Chains A and B, each alone.
Chain A
Amino acid sequence: QQQVKQSPQSLIVQKGGISIINCAYENTAFDYFPWYQQFPGKGPALLIAIRPDVSEKKEGRFTISFNKSAKQFSLHIMDSQPGDSATYFCAAAGSSNTGKLIFGQGTTLQVKP
């Protein structure tokens, strides 16, 4: 019940294309869903986050889509750039667990020039 399942494990996209990463969760107590980007040698950096009361949130080229009934959420990276090549993690947390994020296994994205 505490798991967050992320797919795909790796993704190769051409420059200018759309990168899509999917996550699914089971625990209905989760109410905060962030996405993190991690470059080699660095810690994860928060990209964008969403709560279940909205179905979509957009920040620049990054969009989260959220489907509460299916318990799924996804990250779309529009106009993907080589600089977006990194590992992406989805995560989930309940309001009673402020510092405890349950992370997906990560997706390694490579954007080819």
Chain B
Amino acid sequence: KAGVTQTPRYLIKTRGQQVTLSCSPISGHRSVSWYQQTPGQGLQFLFEYFSETQRNKGNFPGRFSGRQFSNSRSEMNVSTLELGDSALYLCASSHGTPGSPLHFGNGTRLTVT
């Protein structure tokens, strides 16, 4: 079974630009969650999508948004990029039931200059 696939692996953007990251979950998984990982703040939850609906949201500004498609693939968008948005963005998929394990992809490394 293929794992969680995130594209692209690396991105370099300029302040003020916007970026879209993509995540393909494990086949059969209906839940996709997004996390931001930085050395200072660690792993922080952004949001979760289940059956195309946002089911849970973390404490990030509205510049961070996401969506999920009917095939469970998900995209995350960050608008008006700031230097502090430089991070590893991780996507995780699961069946979406309580206690079902989250399986992470290898992330997209975003650098904002």
Contacts and interface: CB of A to CB of B under 8 A. Distances in A.
Nearest to B96: A98
Contact of B97 (A31, A89, A98, A106): A98
A45 interface: yes
B4 interface: yes
Contact of A43 (B56, B58, B104): B104
Nearest to B100: A98
Interface residues of B, number: 28
A41 B55 CA distance: 29
Interface string A73-113: 00000000000000001010001111111111110000000
Interface of A: 31-32, 34, 36, 41-46, 49, 51, 89, 91, 95-106
Which among A32, A44, A91, A98 has the highest number of chain B CB atoms within 10 Å?
Answer: A98
Given A95-B99, A99-B31, A99-B33, A44 B90 contact: yes
Given A43-B92, A98-B48, A99-B55, 10 more contacts: A43-B105, A44-B43, A44-B104, A46-B102, A49-B101, A97-B56, A98-B56, A98-B94, A100-B33, A103-B44
Contacts, number: 71
Interface in B58-113: 58, 90, 92, 94, 96-107
Main secondary structure of the interface of B (DSSP, over half): strand
Main secondary structure of the interface of A (DSSP, over half): loop
A31 B96 CA distance: 16
